[in-house]
Amino acid sequence: MKRAELVFIPFPARGHLVSTLEFAKRLLDRDDRFSITVLVINAPFGPTNHGLIQSIAASDTRLRFIDLPPMVPPPKELLFRSAEKFATEFLEKYRSHVKEAIINHVLSASLPLAGLVVDMFWTSLIDVAHELGVPFYFFFTCSAAFFGFMLYLPARHDQVGIEFRETDPESAIPSYCNPFPPGALPSFAFNKEGGYISMVNHGRKYKEADGIIINTFSELESHAVSSFFNGIPPIYTVGPMIDLEGKMPSGDKQAKHEEIMKWLDDQPPSSVVFLCFGSLGSFEEPQLKETALGLEQSGHRFLWSVRLTSQDDNLAKLTDAQNLEQILPPGFLERTRGIGMICGWAPQVEVLAHKAIGGFVSHCGWNSILESLWHGVPIAAWPIYAEQQTNAFQMVRDLGLAVELKLDYMFGRGVLVMAEEIEKAVKCLMEADSDVRKRVKNMCEKSREAMIEGGSSSVSLGRLIETIMANDKLSASE
């Protein structure tokens, strides 16, 4: 029997790691001919990923993890000017170490190397794959529509040669149904400090891959998937890849977990709106006050994950909000006692799965969107950074699967979303028989059907496996 080794190289951010490693586990579940080695690097600043990696390694011994040596990151100033250029330069430093690790720890083993499965930001590793003579696959952790946007970038740049401008007319991007207004574009599209051109260059390199594996399912993004034209590598829609098991937290988080779930157990079904903005989502005090007023005026029960941005060594870091009485409107905590709960960290997947949750005010990270659809919970879209603006636009305008809260919001612009806007969105979100809620329930069923045997994502994964195992170089292992 043919056997083969795959090397997975994820991006060192939780949102990328979780979905990438879920895909690795799904591949092993599907076909026991594979062995998988994961090359691991840690984020240059902020929390490390050691805990997450150790937890996954302990729960699934089929995956082999190899830590790459730490590298000196680019200057912090570049991170503030352009996170995309910073990430590109940081990953480029690891190129030789990736090649060395593959030669020393993978090629020297008995199993033939069937290919590299690499994060969407690590395009420079295509050259390493060519040098080693092995197939190269991107694991795209965002939507198929956003992949289409990344393909659109170099084509547009070849015509106009400059970044987007806020005064530009709407853009006709093939992977989206509706014309794209400048206010819904991600911040890097306007970045003159290297962010825009970095993403243009990534978009060019995607065409050199042997395949693009996307964490989505065809029923959700049928328009985007059908928009891809000749000259694009084969597309494999294998999602939703989300961590449904959840790991029981330890220490302080365990007590918080128990407190949150107990509070939800006491709430009526579909009565609570959940507000959570991802591992990097935070607001400053004026916005927290407006959010509190909007929630109170909506009259709905709420579970609100509150995080503040603090300054530490000139680097913004998230901290759970303390001294809320001094931050939120006077008397808010007392007036909402019993109908609202405020927390810092929250077990998002478990919360979304709870029967008490009726709506989700979200930053529209792609993982969060897939999790909410899986559990049939409609979203009020409040994007903050990265590609979240494009996700929110797609969910609200193209797919009708979310309620608009503030599509053109972008952290750092000083825009304040007022209490009236939040109140209106929450009331719309929590309507019992709304069209959005019905569409989300329907998509919930389709997301689950996609993953079972014979479903669209299961079939697509099967095609990918056939392609990988058809490699002539694997015949020697039979």
Q: Count how many Cα atoms sit within 13 Å of the Cα of residue 77 in the half-sphere of its side chain.
A: 1
Q: What does the alpha-carbon distance between residue 50 and residue 146 come to, in Å, rounded to a whole number? A: 29
In the predicted model, what is the mean pLDDT of residues 379-383? 97
In the predicted model, what is the mean pLDDT of residues 302-309? 88
In the predicted model, what is the mean pLDDT of residues 338-364? 95
Give the model confidence (pLDDT) of 60-102 as tens digits: 888 999 999 999 999 999 998 999 999 999 999 999 999 999 9
Is this prediction's pTM over 0.85?
A: yes
Q: Which of 330 and 230 is assigned the larger pLDDT?
A: 330
Best CA proximity match to 391, nearest among 375, 415, 370, 421: 370
Radius of gyration of the chain (CA): 22
Please calculate the CA angle 354-264-443 and round it to the nearest 5 degrees. 25
Give the model confidence (pLDDT) of 433-475 as tens digits: 999 999 999 999 999 999 999 999 999 999 999 999 998 666 5
Q: In the predicted model, is pLDDT for residue 289 greater than 60?
A: yes
Q: In the predicted model, is pLDDT for residue 141 greater than 60?
A: yes
Q: What is the set of domains in the chain, with CATH numbers?
A: 4-241+452-477 (3.40.50.2000), 252-432 (3.40.50.2000)
In the predicted model, what is the mean pLDDT of residues 250-260? 84
Q: What percent of the chain shows pLDDT beyond 70?
A: 92
Q: What is the pLDDT of residue 116?
A: 98
